[in-house]
Chains A and B, each alone.
Chain A
Amino acid sequence: MFRELRSSVSLFILFFVLTGLGYPFLTLILGQQLFPHQANGSLIETNGKIIGSSLIGQNFAGAGYFHGRPSAAGNGYDAGNSSGSNLGPTSANLQQAIEQRVNDLKKDNSVPIPVDLVTTSASGLDPDISPDAAQFQVSRVAAARQLTLDQIQDIIKQSTTSRSLGFLGDNRVNVLDLNLALDRLGKTPVP
């Protein structure tokens, strides 16, 4: 019995150190050496200031920016508190929220609204929208920025990622990427 206990305790300590310190730190060191950008969160800096991460969505409300999906993370796109809405398909709250969003978006465009624009994502931090959801917003952004539709189509194309290896996942547009490209065009949004 005593020997059993001794084996248990010492083996546990060995694996505690090995899998709790050895393995995570080896991963950390190798990751920092091989892929420092990703290992540190794929952050984007402009003029020495961190403006976000290319993987993490952020909130956009102005007419001159493309908007991401509705978010249930904190007060919206809280990257310190990821969360979905967790509202069920028959929830009255969900029905209400979606009707509200549809009403708000109707002003931008009269075509059917792509479903991702009116539903919250699983993480609340979805960095992407569908290509249709970007198209839906083109005329609003063009008007707010006094740009031509063609100029905007060009940058949408640049910010669109196709399926990985041609078949994995869905085609998508990274919203932060797209809005950064808009700002680079030089015309700041008219408030």
Chain B
Amino acid sequence: MNIYALLQFVAFAAVSVGLMLPLGIYMAKVFNGEATWAGKVLGPIEGLSYRLCGVRGAEQQNWAQYAGAVIIFNALGGAVLFLILMHQDQLPWNPQGLPGLPYDLAFNIAVSFVTNTNWQSYGGETTLSYFSQMLGLTVQNFMAAATGFAVAVAMVRGFTHKENPGLGNFYVDVTRAIFYVLLPLSLLFALFLIWQGVPDNLQPYVQATTLEGTQQTIAQGPVASQIAIKMLGSNGGGYFNANAAHPYENPTPLSNFFQLISILLLSIGLIAAFGKMVGDRRQAWALLASMTILFMILLGLCYFSEANGNPAFGHLNIDQIISDTNSGGNMEGKEVRFGIFNSALWATTTSATSNGSVNAMHDSFMPLGGLVPLFNMLVGEVIYGGVGCGLYGILLYVLITVFIAGLMVGRTPEYLGKKIEAHEIKLAVIAQLLYPICVLGFGVVSLLVPLGASSMSATGPHGLTQTIYAYASAAANNGSAFAGFNGNTVFQNIMLGIVMLIGRYGVIIPVLAIAGSLAAKKITPPSSGTFPTHGLMFVVLLTAVIVMFGGLTYFPALALGPVAEHLSLFQSVAP
């Protein structure tokens, strides 16, 4: 392994963990309503907002009220975004005179941004006006991330509340997420990005005359503000078509490094906050350990697949060996300034969380390199996971794990002192089963119907992978793509839009129902028969459950897609 790859990984891990701990403590305080240094400044504004909007912050919502608020708030956001996109030609800040979008594309984008998927059926600079980028996408980037936060915090309250079915107040949680976490961090990060070279202006696209005398149109816009929240909120929808591979979205290795950190930051911060909120940090460490084991294995697989280059070009006189002066490896669809390691690290991180931004084109990854982000999404993005959805996603796995452990020893399973009973397990399984239904059910329809199959740009195993990837990305609300797949057709825009809705609310509603049911239960102190959920045994079990759920459910699809492609590629070049 290249020494620089190792150094970059160590720096990435160290900075992530270093920022995670203080941020976790801070976020726990924010969502518990405790005093913070930021509260001194922002507290009065927060209070004023509640008065203006008629929010009674002290009022607790039960799970159904909480879910209702989530849905109303998100539906509103989706409707406004849809209208903006349809009518962007009649709105200001459209110097390129871009037309309003067709209904299917507007529907897809609206759903995609409300559900924190941020799938790019749009092309960014060729499709969206500055108005749509700011008041459309940027607004929803905040709202969707804040919704994720709120639901995760509500679920944690399910474990901490004693015989009190209230889950907190959705409006308060959203307001706090935006005021105390998302807005200040985004502003800071946006300025850092501008310093690194990300543009932020409202100028029309620049016309340049190149050295060889041809004309080059260079897209501009309010890029930095959109990118900052896109990364922090695990949204991932690019300002430009090429997303974070575009030199204006991600100009330097330093901007790349901090964008990588920002993908993970709030997700792992929330897991640390979880440890603090339930009063037992070991629980958070156990979850992180389990996630990290999987992350390291997958990153290793992705990096080595890409670093070894493409054997199909072995007979040509091409230098694919990585060195100080040569990029090496599989450089198709990758940028020189990042190199192989950063591309592999980004692909693994963006799909482990539900970010979905890309700094290299996954469609051009080696078969096993591309398998990694696909696998990450198929297990439901719980390896750190997205903002909020990562935490509630892994907690669903935890419930199933303690249930299985309970079955093995013949005791009622418990987690954090709450008895886990049939009702909770049913709901957890419903939430978990929706993924395979979306990916395999809808995915198969897309494969079989000519309208859907025509979206594939490749035939054979690679085409299958493209389709499965698209549906996995939509179901898991990731948003990255094997971009050779043409998602911008009426058929795919609508199908993928529906899958995104199921993938988001089909999980959020059961999660809140579980939380509501748990919150009403009493907390029993651990006894000698309690299965400890912070030890090595639990970490191993949880990891195994994640792999089995994800791996086995989709094994046939993975075998026919990336694995078959890998085998045929390496067999065809074998001596």
Contacts and interface: CB of A to CB of B under 8 A. Distances in A.
A116 B209 contact: no
Among B65, B175, B222, the one with the most A-chain Cβ atoms within 10 Å of its Cβ is: B222
A19 B140 CA distance: 9
Contact of B211 (A60, A126, A129, A130): A60
Contacts of B55: 7, 11
B242 A122 contact: yes
A133 B175 CA distance: 51
A51 interface: yes
Interface string B46-80: 00010011110000000001001100110011001
B54 A85 contact: no
B316 A102 contact: yes
Given A79-B216, A121-B245, A90 B565 contact: yes
Contacts of B365: 89
Given A58-B216, A65-B211, A88-B364, A31 B191 contact: yes
Interface in B279-312: 309-310, 312
A169 B484 contact: no
Contacts of B319: 111-115, 132
Interface in A1-18: 3-12, 14-16, 18
B76 A8 contact: yes
A52 B210 contact: yes
B358 A169 contact: no
B73 A21 contact: no
Contacts of A4: 65, 68-69, 72
A6 B337 contact: no
B197 A28 contact: no
B129 interface: no
Interface string A162-173: 011101111110
A127 to B, nearest CB: 6
A122 B336 CA distance: 10
Given A38-B196, A52-B216, A115-B309, A87 B246 contact: no
B571 to A, nearest CB: 11
A34 to B, nearest CB: 7
Contacts of B342: 168-169
Nearest to A60: B212
A127 B247 contact: yes
A179 B123 CA distance: 30
A120 B242 CA distance: 13
Interface residues of B, number: 128
B120 to A, nearest CB: 11
Contacts of B483: 83-84, 86
A87 B484 contact: yes
Among B53, B126, B191, B358, the one with the most A-chain Cβ atoms within 10 Å of its Cβ is: B53
A125 interface: yes
Contacts of A190: none
Contacts of A31: 190-191, 194, 200, 224
Contact of B7 (A23, A38, A91, A167): A167
B387 to A, nearest CB: 15
B354 interface: no
A117 B565 CA distance: 25
Contacts of B208: 43, 50-53, 58
Nearest to B322: A170
Contacts of B247: 55-57, 123, 125-127
Contacts of B69: 4, 8
B336 A55 contact: no
Contact of A128 (B49, B312, B336): B336
Among B65, B136, B320, the one with the most A-chain Cβ atoms within 10 Å of its Cβ is: B320
B82 interface: no
Contacts of B552: none
Given A40-B203, A131-B325, A122 B366 contact: no
Contacts of B323: 132
B68 A167 contact: no
Nearest to A88: B462
Nearest to A6: B54
Contact of B325 (A34, A94, A130, A183): A130
A125 B210 CA distance: 14
A102 B256 CA distance: 31
B485 to A, nearest CB: 8
Contacts of A118: 318
Nearest to A102: B316
A156 to B, nearest CB: 11
Contact of B334 (A12, A56, A121): A121
A136 to B, nearest CB: 9
A11 B316 contact: no
A112 B225 CA distance: 43
A145 to B, nearest CB: 13
Nearest to B65: A4
A28 B178 contact: no
A112 B217 contact: no
A41 B135 contact: no
Contact of A84 (B124, B142, B361): B361
Interface in A28-65: 28, 30-32, 34-35, 38-43, 49-53, 55-62, 65
A135 B324 CA distance: 13
Top 6 A-B pairs, shortest CB-CB distance: A169-B253, A122-B245, A170-B339, A86-B484, A82-B242, A123-B242
Interface of B: 4, 7-8, 11, 49, 52-55, 65, 68-69, 72-73, 76-77, 80, 123-126, 134-136, 138-139, 142-143, 171, 174-175, 178, 183, 186-187, 190-191, 194-203, 205-212, 214, 216-220, 222, 224-226, 228-229, 240-242, 245-248, 251-254, 256-257, 309-310, 312-313, 316-320, 323-339, 342-343, 358-361, 363-367, 457-458, 460-462, 482-484, 565, 568-569
Given A56-B248, A115-B327, A127-B247, 19 more contacts: A8-B76, A9-B76, A11-B73, A19-B139, A19-B143, A39-B199, A41-B248, A43-B208, A50-B208, A56-B216, A58-B208, A62-B212, A65-B211, A80-B205, A88-B364, A102-B316, A129-B336, A167-B7, A168-B11
